[in-house]
Structure 1
Amino acid sequence: MNLKIYAEIVINSDALEIDKPFTYEVPEELMKDIVVGQWVKVPFGVKNSLVDGFILSIKEDEISGIKIKKIKSISLLEPLLTKDDIKLVNFLKENYLCKYIDGIRLLIPQGVLKGVNNKYKQVVAIGNKESSKEIEEKYGDILAFIKKNNGEFNKSELTKKYGLSTYKINKLIKEDYLKVEEEVVYRYNFKEYIEYKEKALTKDQINAIESIEKSDKSVILLKGVTGSGKTEVYMNLVRKELLEEKSAIILVPEISLTPQMIERFKGRFGREVAVFHSKLSDGERYDEWYRVKEGKARVIIGARSALFLPVQDLGIIIIDEEHENTYKSEQNPKYVTREVAEFISKLNNCKVILGSATPSIETYYRAISGEIELVELNNRVDNKPMPKIEIVDMREELNSGNISMFSRKLFLEMKEALNKKEQIILFLNRRGFSTFVSCRSCGYVFKCPKCDISMTYHKNGYLVCHYCGHGEYQSKVCPKCKSKYVKHFGTGTEKVEEEVKRHFKDAKVLRMDMDTTRNKNSHETIYNAFKNGEGDILIGTQMISKGLDFENVTLVGILAADMSLNISDYRAAERTFQIITQVSGRAGRGQKEGKVILQSYNPSHYSLNYAQNYDYEGFYNEEFTTRGLMYYPPFGRILLVNVSSKNENSLKNFMNTLKNELSSISNSEENIEMLGPVPCIISKIKDNFRWQIIFKGDLSLDFCKKIKDKLYQLNKNVYNEIKVTIDINPNNLT
């Protein structure tokens, strides 16, 4: 029998029809080099165009009667994917209903496929020849400097920046006391940080670390009140992994939190720290990916994408603020970070730490039911008191004639804090100047022409759609009735900033939202400015609500606590409770006590009242009961089918077909409810009309796959006209 070598290859394409491995023969000249995980070039399609592919498996077989195409070339000898990576790709495909290529792209930086590579420079290092006493006397200063900074600088830097003699350096190189070698130049993340010294641990922290280390469970929930020192616990756990020559991944939910985490971890662990998030360029992402792959960085900090770096000898995964919805991807694969982390931990036999003051209902349920370990930090460091939260009824403010965005209580507290040279954080979960613009004469609301959503007015005079980015200069005349009674309604962070500057003219004001943090280093710039006292008042959206630690902040103002209650989501109350608790925790972290003023038009809502008393267990019990009655997670699952098209009639016809086909699948299952089809709450985005179907109940992966397969089958005929997406337990249903 004449056996040949064949490779199963996934093509780098988004087309649904080719979401499967294709078999290619390995030509004899490539056999000695071919391995699983390689990036290769293969002929594909009728025209045999050369395309990129990735090898998932290799087998020896005899295939007869079929003409098998051959691999053309290997694009990179070093495999981009390991066998564990391929297991992860299969996990993503099965659990999040994505395509093979969606999973593969998570694991490979875009820059690699674009041809980005290492940058090099010629550096001076200690040579092969031992220096004599005579050489030491003549050139000791240069040799000592090179030894201290071995391989750091090139000749030009040594002479121009540090004033060393070109003649002496060349002579030492010629006689082999020094040598010139090629070194990788990293494009990012070599800023030096002040040493962040280890702190004396509290009894609670010591007990938490011991409980985590002794636990026989691979997943641990570290539930610690804000200011209880979870970060110091993380750092001690990481230190122990490094001593055992293991690596660690630390994930944060917002890029805004990376400056503080980087500052602390680099101050403690130095250059062993890699940073990975979406604001890096392709070259910078490649550098960090490469450093991790080579084992030159053993501590990885970043947003959720850092979880997919090729970490060597992984010892621990830490997910800080595990409850945050940013840990759920909105693009394919629509994965849940903690679920993927748990799968990776099984591959690496390591622990996952889920840290939060306000864990998600699903995570806390798993903890108290014994599925995962529960470790608690119930006190702030040094037993500092939690800041007192005072709820102000804004209806009473209106009745008293106060139409300002600041209640009288908040205004007085701000005045007092500024007089004491203390810092203030004002939180509003809405950016822009005002939330919408309308005509007071006819009621017309200025909406995005491409999306079914009102546009936000910005102080520069532009109306901006925060869904598609469309912007236009705001007309002063109503386009419907031609009246001039056009007015801004609602409040955004820009408006808050303007009002603060009007009332507190001497205060230094900083704002952190999507509009002020578009540039690469803007998060770090604002963070450092406020930390160094260059700002008295920090105004911001969700990105300032968690994790940040400023010792001089004594007052937090929550301007519109009800805003998150009004979103169309079964998690609305949970998110409101979490955000109030988190942002309140920014106050009183130093030596001075903190205070929180929470403004609300619905002050009796249970989420606000439980948050006021920091009563997580009380909130959990009430919310858990409601979830059970409605069969929402953790009792059941939700599958969202979202369909969009620029042609509204084609979309409606397709939805009618879907209704019949999908209902026949759901009707054959018990405890599954199908809702819809109906237009989405936001019925148009970027000129695409949007409809949805929701399944709720005991949704097995097998059921979800049946729905996916049927959708793809029906979608093939209208693929160019209609787009279908599916999401398990989505973040929102808009």
Structure 2
Amino acid sequence: MVNNDSKQVDRIFTYAIPKELLEKIDLGFRVKVPFGKGNRMVYGFVVEFYDVIDASIKKIKYIKSMCDDFPVLREKDLKLITIMREKYLCTYIECIKTILPNGMFKGISNKVKNVIRTGENLKDRFCKEPYVLIYNIVKKNEGKFNKNELSKKFSVSMSSINTMIKHGFLEQGKLIVNRYNERQYKAYEEKILNDDQKKAVDMILNCKKNISLIHGITGSGKTEIYMNLVSIMLQQGKDSIILVPEIALTPQMVERFKGRFGKDITVFHSKLSLGEKYDEWLRVKNGKVKVAIGARSAIFLPFENLGLIVIDEEHETSYKSESDPKYMAKEIAILKSHIENCKVVLGTATPCIETYYEAMRDEVELITMNKRADGASLPKIEVVDMREELMNNNRSIFSRKLFSSIKEKIAKKEQVILFLNRRGFSTFVSCRKCGYVFKCSNCDIALTYHSEGDYLSCHYCGNKQKALRVCPSCGSKYVKYFGIGTEKVEREIKKYFPKVNTLRMDFDTTRKKDSYENIYNKFKNGEADILIGTQMVAKGLDFSNVTLVGVIAADLSLNLPDFKSAERTFQLITQVSGRAGRGKKKGEVVVQTYNPDNYSIKCAASNDYDDFYKKEITIRRDMNYPPFSNIFCINMSSENENLLIKNIQNVAINLKKIISKNDKIELLGPCPCVISKIKNNYRWQIILKGDINNKYARKIKKLVYEIVKYDYNSIRISMDINPINML
């Protein structure tokens, strides 16, 4: 396989091995090879060996050199790559680039620093000052500093240092600089498991299926179960991977795991630099660490003796990749379980419908935990009908109940979390005279107003423009900001509670590398009274002094044009509600909605997952949605709308011919996507729903590319089986 993104070269190429490499090269090695008519040097990966050259190959090329002194891919990885390519309709190189650290393709390797060490013992005229002083300093700080650092830090002569190097009393050497976190954490003592936790650990260890689902309410002690399992794996000499859905949760998990097991735990997520990722990957590759904590991509870390994969909050959509290969972390974990014979534990208070359906069919071991670990009760959830608030002339974003509860908790020195799944100040800006809506010039999406900086922003392409006070369509000054975002919630809180300290956790406040951890630590340490955030605050976070959670607008996720909207609403309300009352103080939750009778909101308010599941699975069965079918989404985009429409209509005509004899597959479309334009590209889609397996999907992919081949450079094609959203 060669490092070339073109789908036309997505195959295995044959190269000869030069004699000098015969004894060194093996499966999984990265090599440099001449490729194409111009023999341009590219990376290649050794995936197969042949004793006899195929007779059809006339002029075989030779491998030029090896890039590393170790194989970057294991045989287990090669098996996984082959399966992923078929399952996710992607190329070999897309799989390889997903498994290996990005820096490896951009020239990143070990960071090396020149350092000074002691050489021969001092003698003759060198036994005098300043040579003795310099020699002793270097001896005390062996291999820590280079010449410049030594001279500046200890105020010693550079000339004397150079003289000592010249005569061999000091030597210059190389030091590999570690680019990973070696910070020490406060000890996190092991807790005695309660009966439910002990039972869960036993069931997981003795599960013949190797796949377990812990359906445990918020605060039921799932993290302590994970840590107990990791401890058992370490005793058995096995490795563990712990996945969390958001980087925001990583600091909390790292704090606990490193506090329990020491510093030698790798942390792997997208906020790391290319160098940091490479070093963490290499630590795993070299067997220096036995445990990894991270977001989705950590699932591919090359542990040699993998015994356990934990996917915390398994229902989260962030476990699905939006770029090729469009993998789901849970599916990769199950594949690795078959390849590497390891345990997989899925944990959540709100399992995704498909996972729970598998548990009901006994395909996954189900472990139910209905009590909080410390005996605390679940918070009381009160649903407020915002229609009644309007009838009572309350036009504030806070209901009377939520406002009074915030006031009460602040007076008691307790903390509050306010959740709104939309960032910015206003969700759209419109002219009240002519109805003009300020939209992005590149995308079919309304611009969001941000008060900090006074600008309008597109949350899809990132386009920004200065906020206007005059309508560009009719020239009127009746420009109004509609809807609310996290910025507006923060401003309203400061207006009503000027002495209260607030923190905001959303995409805008967490762009910098350590911002998640800084916000987490400040709130944990009581430096803020109210945390306002998007879905980042809805999962996993554990603050003992939070006694009130306010859900500002529960309808935002409910009104999305997606068959999973009810499920996501139930999950979000249940998860964010679980942040309240996790300490000794009782918690309460206020859910504001214009749709209080919806079953997802009513079930979340009563914390009744089983009732929600029964209602939702009935709808899914009646509508033939997953888990009763697969959805295959074909998305095509282009700057040339006419060319796009012509091609996608042609695809649809040919697909109808293929599925006309198959009454188990339904074709919907072609039609514009809900968001019909992003970054100046028009977007159309076709949706196939029904009994679609991997083989059938690859047949469809081949057909689509065959039809579009003459316009391939002008049209972007994306295909996904069971996409997270179809907007």
Q: TM-score, structure 1 length as denominator? A: 0.91
Q: Is the 8 A contact 1:715 1:724 kept in 2?
A: no
Q: Is the 8 A contact 1:27 1:70 kept in 2?
A: no
Q: Which amino acid aligns with 2:610?
A: E
Q: Is the 8 A contact 1:16 1:712 kept in 2?
A: no
Displacement of 1:120 in angstroms is: 4.0
Q: Which amino acid aligns with 1:20?
A: R
Match in the other structure for 2:708: 715
Q: Is the 8 A contact 1:640 1:727 kept in 2?
A: yes
Cα deviation digits, residues 439-480 of structure 1 (max 9, x gap): 000111000000000010001211100000001111111111
Match in the other structure for 1:470: 463
Q: Which amino acid aligns with 2:579?
A: R
Match in the other structure for 2:640: 647
Displacement of 1:157 in angstroms is: 9.8
Displacement of 1:53 in angstroms is: 1.7
Displacement of 1:74 in angstroms is: 2.4
Displacement of 1:151 in angstroms is: 8.8
Displacement of 1:65 in angstroms is: 5.0
Q: Which amino acid aligns with 1:538?
A: L
1:561-572 matched pairs, under 5 angstroms: 561-572=554-565
* 1:547 is aligned to 2:540: yes
Per the alignment, do residues 681 and 579 of structure 1 end up closer, same or farther by CA in structure 2, a change over 3 Å counting?
same
Q: Is the 8 A contact 1:248 1:314 kept in 2?
A: yes
* 1:313 is aligned to 2:305: yes
Q: Which amino acid aligns with 2:2?
A: I
Within 1, Cα distance between the matches of 2:662 and 2:639?
33
Match in the other structure for 1:442: 434
Match in the other structure for 1:23: 14
Per the alignment, do residues 438 and 195 of structure 1 end up closer, same or farther by CA in structure 2, a change over 3 Å counting?
same
Q: Is the 8 A contact 1:23 1:68 kept in 2?
A: no
Q: Which amino acid aligns with 1:499?
A: E
Greater mean alpha carbon deviation, residues 285-294 or residues 195-204: 195-204
Q: Secondary structure at the match of 2:50?
A: strand
Q: Which amino acid aligns with 2:252?
A: Q
Q: Is the 8 A contact 1:95 1:701 kept in 2?
A: yes
Per the alignment, do residues 102 and 417 of structure 1 end up closer, same or farther by CA in structure 2, a change over 3 Å counting?
same
- Of 263, 266, 269, the residue aligned with 2:258 is 266
Match in the other structure for 1:523: 516
1:25-40 matched pairs, under 5 angstroms: 25-40=16-31
Q: Secondary structure at the match of 1:310?
A: coil
Q: Is the 8 A contact 2:430 2:481 kept in 1?
A: yes
Displacement of 1:30 in angstroms is: 2.7
Q: Is the 8 A contact 2:76 2:340 kept in 1?
A: no
- Of 496, 508, 517, the residue aligned with 2:501 is 508
Q: Is the 8 A contact 2:15 2:63 kept in 1?
A: no
Q: Secondary structure at the match of 1:188?
A: coil
Q: Secondary structure at the match of 1:519?
A: coil
Q: Is the 8 A contact 1:529 1:535 kept in 2?
A: yes
The runs of 5 or more residues in structure 1 that have no matched partner are 1-9, 128-142, 164-177
Within 2, Cα distance between the matches of 1:92 and 1:185?
35
Q: Which amino acid aligns with 2:202?
A: E
Per the alignment, do residues 245 and 159 of structure 1 end up closer, same or farther by CA in structure 2, a change over 3 Å counting?
farther
Q: Which amino acid aligns with 1:314?
A: L
Match in the other structure for 1:729: 722
Match in the other structure for 2:487: 494
Within 2, Cα distance between the matches of 1:715 and 1:56?
31
Cα deviation digits, residues 327-371 of structure 1 (max 9, x gap): 111000001110111111111111000000000011111112111
Q: Secondary structure at the match of 1:60?
A: coil
Match in the other structure for 1:582: 575
* 1:195 is aligned to 2:187: yes
Match in the other structure for 2:699: 706
Cα deviation digits, residues 81-126 of structure 1 (max 9, x gap): 1111111111111111111111010121121222212124578999
- Of 371, 391, 396, the residue aligned with 1:399 is 391
- Of 77, 88, 94, the residue aligned with 2:86 is 94
Per the alignment, do residues 693 and 62 of structure 1 end up closer, same or farther by CA in structure 2, a change over 3 Å counting?
same
- Of 352, 374, 379, the residue aligned with 2:371 is 379
Q: Secondary structure at the match of 1:604?
A: coil
- Of 578, 589, 592, the residue aligned with 2:585 is 592
1:169-180 matched pairs, under 5 angstroms: none
Q: TM-score, structure 2 length as denominator? A: 0.92
Cα deviation digits, residues 515-552 of structure 1 (max 9, x gap): 00000000000000000000000000000000000000
Q: Is the 8 A contact 2:34 2:64 kept in 1?
A: no
Match in the other structure for 2:44: 53
Per the alignment, do residues 422 and 315 of structure 1 end up closer, same or farther by CA in structure 2, a change over 3 Å counting?
same
Displacement of 1:48 in angstroms is: 2.2
Q: Is the 8 A contact 1:40 1:71 kept in 2?
A: no
Q: Secondary structure at the match of 1:476?
A: coil
Displacement of 1:191 in angstroms is: 1.4
Per the alignment, do residues 478 and 396 of structure 1 end up closer, same or farther by CA in structure 2, a change over 3 Å counting?
same
Greater mean alpha carbon deviation, residues 347-356 or residues 13-22: 13-22
Q: Which amino acid aligns with 1:307?
A: I
Q: Is the 8 A contact 2:379 2:578 kept in 1?
A: yes
Within 1, Cα distance between the matches of 2:117 and 2:377?
54
Q: Is the 8 A contact 2:183 2:263 kept in 1?
A: no
Q: Which amino acid aligns with 2:37?
A: V
Cα deviation digits, residues 633-666 of structure 1 (max 9, x gap): 1110000000000001101111121111111122
Per the alignment, do residues 121 and 51 of structure 1 end up closer, same or farther by CA in structure 2, a change over 3 Å counting?
closer
Per the alignment, do residues 239 and 476 of structure 1 end up closer, same or farther by CA in structure 2, a change over 3 Å counting?
same
Q: Secondary structure at the match of 2:263?
A: helix
Per the alignment, do residues 122 and 481 of structure 1 end up closer, same or farther by CA in structure 2, a change over 3 Å counting?
closer
Match in the other structure for 1:329: 321
1:355-366 matched pairs, under 5 angstroms: 355-366=347-358
Q: Is the 8 A contact 1:41 1:71 kept in 2?
A: no
Cα deviation digits, residues 163-213 of structure 1 (max 9, x gap): 9xxxxxxxxxxxxxx999865321121111111111122221111111211
Within 1, Cα distance between the matches of 2:407 and 2:142?
55
Q: Secondary structure at the match of 1:641?
A: strand
Q: Which amino acid aligns with 2:19?
A: E
Q: Is the 8 A contact 1:424 1:537 kept in 2?
A: yes
- Of 536, 545, 551, the residue aligned with 1:558 is 551
Q: Is the 8 A contact 2:215 2:349 kept in 1?
A: yes
Instruction: Tell me how many residue pairs correspond in the alignment.
Output: 704
- Of 600, 621, 628, the residue aligned with 1:635 is 628
Q: Which amino acid aligns with 1:69?
A: I
Q: Which amino acid aligns with 1:246?
A: K
Q: Is the 8 A contact 1:39 1:74 kept in 2?
A: no
Q: Secondary structure at the match of 1:57?
A: coil
Match in the other structure for 2:55: 64
1:229-248 matched pairs, under 5 angstroms: 229-248=221-240
Within 2, Cα distance between the matches of 1:62 and 1:690?
46
Greater mean alpha carbon deviation, residues 537-546 or residues 90-99: 90-99
1:205-284 matched pairs, under 5 angstroms: 205-284=197-276
Within 2, Cα distance between the matches of 1:690 and 1:12?
29
Q: Is the 8 A contact 1:683 1:691 kept in 2?
A: yes
Within 1, Cα distance between the matches of 2:664 and 2:295?
36
Match in the other structure for 2:122: none
Q: Secondary structure at the match of 2:60?
A: coil
Per the alignment, do residues 264 and 161 of structure 1 end up closer, same or farther by CA in structure 2, a change over 3 Å counting?
farther
Match in the other structure for 1:43: 34
Q: Which amino acid aligns with 1:468?
A: C
Match in the other structure for 2:409: 417
Greater mean alpha carbon deviation, residues 530-539 or residues 260-269: 260-269
Within 2, Cα distance between the matches of 1:690 and 1:527?
38
Displacement of 1:27 in angstroms is: 2.9
Within 1, Cα distance between the matches of 2:75 and 2:295?
24
Displacement of 1:63 in angstroms is: 2.8
Displacement of 1:32 in angstroms is: 2.3
Q: Percent identity?
A: 55
Over the aligned positions, Cα root-mean-square deviation in angstroms equals 2.8
Greater mean alpha carbon deviation, residues 393-402 or residues 63-72: 63-72
Within 1, Cα distance between the matches of 2:286 and 2:7?
35
Within 2, Cα distance between the matches of 1:125 and 1:591?
56
Within 2, Cα distance between the matches of 1:372 and 1:580?
26
1:333-372 matched pairs, under 5 angstroms: 333-372=325-364
Q: Which amino acid aligns with 2:523?
A: F
Q: Which amino acid aligns with 2:521?
A: N
